[in-house]
Amino acid sequence: MKNKTTDSLQFGEGNFLRAFVDFCLQTLNEKTSFSGKVNIVQPLPNGMIEQLKNQNGKYHIFQEGVMAGENIRLGQQINCIDQMINPYQEFSNFLKLAENENLTFVFSNTTEAGIMLDHKDQFNNTPALSFPGKLTQLLYHRYKTFNGDHSKILHIIPCELIEKNGDKLKEIILELCDIWQLENKFKSWIRQNHFYNTLVDRIVPGFPKNDVEFYQKNLPFNDQLIVTCEPFFLWVIEGNTKLLDIFPVNQLKNIDVKIVPDLGVYRTRKVRILNGSHTTLVPVGLLNGTSTVSESLKDNFLKTFLFQTLFNEIIPSVDFDKKELENYAHSVLERFSNPFIIHQLESISLNSISKFKVRVLPSLLSYLKKEGKVPKNLTFAMAALIYFYGKEVSKHPYSIKDDSKNITFFNQIWKDNKIEKVVLETLSNTALWGQNLAQISPLKDSLTQALNTIISQDKISDAHRIFQNLQS
């Protein structure tokens, strides 16, 4: 027996939300007693609402990837979308959404730039310029409609990829209340609403424009909003497990939604294992002549390199349950081998220096502190990165995509081709790393060895083998 309808308001109609939140809600409708409808709001003047309306809110999702060693492709129709509103053309209908007695959730994905305070925003704009501004207008209308009734507060679950996204959104809304001189009672009511910090993880390539006919041939209508995505699904929500009473995601199989008191460790896990292994792989893979992530998993050298890096160096550096980290690492390797996702290493190489600082360096330094020695694969990857940025020296065909200051810096230090100088100046550049790494003698010495080895060999795989056998 189905529960009463639990309505959701969703800011955003892009590929990710449709393959993530709407897919989850659809599956809840199909597999549990949950009964939910989604009302979608277009957050920007240009969007896809009209296309959704043309299809009555229906579209198909295809999960494509590797599960338990098997290539799979699973199709599913999404039909949980009810209203689709462009607030720039239908502002009164947008506000009317707030009058819904059954409205329970607000979801959003308005990109990282979406959760920002816009000082040009006006309460009387129809609609407000920013996503927080629009949400404040909607919440105020709900507050007025129900005379500040506590029972009409909402569960606000943003999915933007910024740290503490829920806290940040709440902070901006309260600031807008002050700027717009909204009453203190409303501010108090805002504070009663539940704002959740979240972490989302799913690769969503989106519309399969190159072979759309293949996907459309067996569908009941000409779907112009098909979304492709990987099978992997992780949604970590920081909050009380009482949320499960109204959002029974614990009843779902193959959809991993965790409600935890602190998602910090899950963020660390993702950054260090998923993002970190990506960033570690890129310079080594490109210097190996490999083009994509999935190709890397077919190359014996790169596959072994990545496996050893993950299980012997990154995982030991992270303070978390070892078994859970290993399970996550296996899922990462499975995702990397996905033949349906063409992830170019060169495109991932964008801003590799800053990525290395955030994603890899903490693992390298943590391992060094715990084990009393440098992690050889992570150090080798750092050496490969420095060599990669010395484009004139390394003579690889790839373009370096980074801040012009970083590109200029590496061009300058590689001019003399003196490895000790390159290592010293790289490690001591606090603008790159936020600290002086040259003070860490074992790292400096090992990095020098690694760079010398890379330069002396034609093949990066040979350089790695020789470096591994050197005494640190």
Total domain count, the chain = 2
Q: Which distant-in-sequence residues (6+ apart) come within 8 Å of 133 by Cβ?
A: 118, 121, 123, 125, 127, 176
pLDDT at 417: 86
122 and 268, same domain (yes or no) = no
189 and 295, same domain (yes or no) = no
51 and 38, same domain (yes or no) = yes
* CATH number of the domain to which 441 belongs: 1.10.1040.10
pLDDT at 66: 87
Does residue 393 lie within any of the structural domains? yes
Cα–Cα distance between 235 and 258 in angstroms, integer? 6
- Which ranges of 337-375 does DSSP label H, i.e. alpha helix? 345-348, 352-359, 361-371
172 and 290, same domain (yes or no) = no
243 and 275, same domain (yes or no) = no
16 and 81, same domain (yes or no) = yes
Is 9 within 8 Å of 84 (Cβ atoms)?
no
pLDDT at 112: 78
Considering 197, 226, 260, which residue would you say is the last residue of a domain?
A: 260
Nearest-5° angle of CA 299, CA 303, CA 308? 155
pLDDT at 67: 82
pLDDT at 393: 86
Considering 260, 278, 294, which residue would you say is the last residue of a domain?
A: 260
Does residue 28 lie within any of the structural domains? yes
Sign of CA dihedral 93, 96, 98, 100: negative
Measured CA distances, 210 to 88, 205, 207 (Å)? 32, 12, 9
Tokens of 402: 């980074």
Does residue 252 lie within any of the structural domains? yes
Is 309 within 8 Å of 282 (Cβ atoms)?
no
Is 374 within 8 Å of 368 (Cβ atoms)?
yes
252 and 359, same domain (yes or no) = no
pLDDT at 1: 58
Say what the pTM is.
0.90
Does residue 1 lie within any of the structural domains? no
pLDDT at 113: 84
- Which ranges of 253-374 does DSSP label H, i.e. alpha helix? 264-269, 276-287, 293-296, 300-308, 315-317, 322-336, 345-348, 352-359, 361-371
Residue in the block written with tokens 């499975």: 334
| CA 422 to the chain's CA centroid | 33
252 and 281, same domain (yes or no) = no
Question: Which of 212, 248, 202, 203 shows the shortest CA–CA distance to 60?
Answer: 212
320 and 374, same domain (yes or no) = yes
299 and 256, same domain (yes or no) = no
387 and 463, same domain (yes or no) = yes
Does residue 85 lie within any of the structural domains? yes
> Domain residues for 182?
6-260
Phi, psi of 25 (to 5 degrees): -65, -40
Considering 260, 288, 307, which residue would you say is the last residue of a domain?
A: 260
Question: Which of 10, 14, 269, 5 shows the shortest CA–CA distance to 158?
Answer: 10
Does residue 437 lie within any of the structural domains? yes
Tens-digit pLDDT profile for the chain (472 aa)? 566 689 999 999 999 999 999 999 999 999 999 999 999 999 999 999 999 999 999 999 999 998 878 899 999 999 999 999 999 999 999 999 999 999 999 999 998 789 999 999 999 999 999 999 999 999 999 999 999 999 999 999 999 999 999 999 999 999 999 999 999 999 999 999 999 999 999 999 999 988 899 999 989 999 999 999 999 999 999 999 999 999 999 999 989 999 999 999 999 999 999 999 999 999 999 999 999 999 999 999 999 999 999 999 999 999 999 999 999 999 999 999 999 998 999 999 999 999 999 999 999 999 999 999 999 999 999 999 999 999 888 889 999 999 999 999 999 999 988 999 999 999 999 999 999 999 999 999 999 999 999 999 999 999 999 999 987 5
59 and 107, same domain (yes or no) = yes
* CATH number of the domain to which 171 belongs: 3.40.50.720
Pairing of strands 197-201, 234-238: antiparallel
pLDDT at 5: 83
Q: Which distant-in-sequence residues (6+ apart) come within 8 Å of 292 by Cβ?
A: 342, 343, 344, 345
CB burial of residue 112 (10 Å; 0-12, 13-18, 19+): exposed
